[in-house]
Amino acid sequence: MIKIAPSVLSADFSKLGEEVKEAEKAGADLIHIDVMDGHFVPNITIGPLIVESIRKVSNLTLDVHLMIEEPDKFIEDFARAGADIISIHLEVSAHSHRSISYIKEQGVKVGISLNPATPLSSLDFILSEVDMVLLMSVNPGFGGQKFIPQVMDKIKILKGIIQNKGYNIDIEVDGGVNVNNAGDIKKAGADILVMGNAFFHSKNYAEVVRKVREQSG
C-alpha cells in the first residue's frame, strides 16, 4: 500500500503539535520534515528543536529531509532529536558515502535525495547502501509548486533498477503531489508520497488520505 507523508512545511505552525496529531489520526504513515538552510535552497525552516517537539507528540516515522549544505555537521543533532529517516542531497555531498555511513552509525535509516535535474546515474555506486531514494519533483525550497512531469520517467527507471538489483529500497516522491496525480505517481513506482499543500491546506485530512488510497491502493 502506498505510504503518505504529510509535509509539515505546509502545516499551521502556531499549532504544530495538533496538526501532527490530526495527520496521524487521518491515517498518515510518516511525518515529513523539511530542513532548509538558506544556502542550498532559498528558504530557512526547521531545526532539530522542532523535530524534538514533533517527536514528543507522535509515534509516526519522522522523515527528515535535509536541504542543507554540510549535512554531516547536523546529522547527530537530528538523530538525537528523534529522526527515524534522514535524507541528504547528493548535490551537496562531495563525500556522500561517508555521510551515509555517518547516518547509519546514528541508528537511523538513510535516504538520498536527488533534485529534478540530477541524473539517476549519480546513484550508481551508492544505491546498495541506502534505505530510500527521495526524488524531488519540484526544485526544492518551497511548498505549493507544480509537479515537474519529466520526473515521472525518472521514477519508472529507478523502480526498474531497484527491482533488477533486488534491493529493498523505497522511492519517495516529493513536490507537487496531490490527489489527482497520486495514482499515476504510484503507478510509476513510488512507495511514499510527500504531500504538503495538498494535505495541510485541505479542509479534511482523512478525506485526502482516503482519495489517495482509492486512486493508488
Please give the residue ranges that form the binding site for ligand DX5 (CB under 6 A). Answer: 7, 9-10, 32, 34, 65, 138, 140-145, 174-177, 194-198
Residue selected from 51, 96, 174, 195 as contacting Zn ion according to rule CB under 5 A: 174
The CA–CA distances, whole Å, from 139 to 29, 42, 72, 189 equal 24, 10, 22, 20
CB 173, min distance to ligand DX5, A: 10
CB 137, min distance to ligand DX5, A: 8
Residue 88 forms beta bridges with which residues?
66, 112
Q: Report, in angstroms and rounded to the nearest whole number, the Rg of the chain calculated over CA atoms.
A: 16
Name the binder of 215 from Zn ion, ligand DX5, none, CB < 5-8 A by kind. Answer: none
User: Per the residue annotation, which of 29, 34, 63, 131 is the catalytic one?
Assistant: 34
Q: CA–CA separation, 93 vs 126, rounded Å?
A: 12
Q: For residues 71 and 99, is the Cβ–Cβ distance under 8 A?
A: yes
CB 196, min distance to ligand DX5, A: 3
63 belongs to the binding site for Zn ion (CB under 5 A) = no
Q: CA–CA separation, 150 vs 117, rounded Å?
A: 9
User: Per the residue annotation, which of 29, 37, 131, 174 is the catalytic one?
Assistant: 174
- Enter the C-alpha cell of residue 111: 535516504
Q: Given the rule CB under 5 A, which residues bind Zn ion?
A: 34, 65, 174
